[in-house]
Amino acid sequence: MNMAFLSSFKIGPDTVYPDSLRQRLRGFPLLEDVSDAAIKRLLSEANWFGLPGGMLLKRDGENDQAVFLVISGSLGVFAEDEHGHRRLVAHVPAGETVGEMSMIMESREHSAQLVALRDSELLRVPPAAFDALIGRHPRVMRNMMRVLIKRLQDTTRSATDKARPKTFAIVPLQEGLEQSPIAHRIAAALVNMGSKAAVLDSSCAEQPGEWFANFESSHDIVFYRGDTPDSAWTHQCLRQADRVFMFARVDRPLPERALELPALKERASGLPQLLLVHPTTGGKALDEHFAVRGGLFESHHHIRVGRAEDIKRLARFIAGRAVGLVLAGGGARGFAHIGVVKALVEAGVPFDTIGGTSMGALIAAGLACEWSIDELTTRMRDAFVNGNPINDYTLPLIAMVRGAKVTKLLQDNYGEMRIEELPKPFFCVSSDLTTGRVHVHRTGLLWRALRASIALPGILPPVTHNGHLLVDGGLMNNLPVDVMAERSPGPIIASDVTGEIDLKVRDDKYGERPWWWLIGQRMAGTPSIISILMRSGTVGSEVQRRMAREQANYMFEPPLNGVGLRDWRAFDRCIAEGYEHALRMIEAHGVPLTEVWAEGPAVSIEHHVAAE
Instruction: Name the residues annotated as catalytic.
Output: 358, 472
Q: Give CA–CA dist 491/276, Å, rounded.
A: 25
Q: How many residues does the chain have?
A: 612
Report helix, strand or coil for 263. coil
Q: Give CA–CA dist 294/299, Å, rounded.
A: 8
Provide the 10 A C-beta neighbour count for residue 59: 17
Q: Give CA–CA dist 43/64, Å, rounded.
A: 19
Q: Give CA–CA dist 414/445, Å, rounded.
A: 9
In DSSP terms, which residues pair with 410 in a beta bridge?
none
Report the amino acid identity of residue 185: R
Q: Give CA–CA dist 274/214, Å, rounded.
A: 29
Task: Measure the N-to-C terminal CA separation of the chain; round to a whole number of Å.
Answer: 28
Q: Give CA–CA dist 430/529, Å, rounded.
A: 22
Q: Give CA–CA dist 237/168, Å, rounded.
A: 8
Give the pairing of strands 197-200 and 243-249.
Answer: unpaired
| Burial class (CB within 10 angstroms; exposed 0-12, middle 13-18, buried 19+) of 5 | exposed
CB 110 within 8 A of CB 102: yes
Element containing residue 185 per DSSP (H, E): helix 182-192
For residue 515, how far is the Cα from the chain centroid? 52
Q: Give CA–CA dist 106/314, Å, rounded.
A: 47
Report the amino acid identity of residue 512: E
Give the angle 485-486-488 at the CA atoms, nearest 5°: 55
Q: Give CA–CA dist 225/181, Å, rounded.
A: 10
For residue 258, how far is the Cα from the chain centroid? 22
CB 126 within 8 A of CB 60: no
CB 179 within 8 A of CB 249: no
Q: Give CA–CA dist 310/593, Å, rounded.
A: 19
| DSSP per position, 364-394 | HHHHHTT--HHHHHHHHHHHHTS--TT--B-
Q: Give CA–CA dist 596/321, Å, rounded.
A: 6
Give the pairing of strands 167-172 and 197-200.
Answer: unpaired
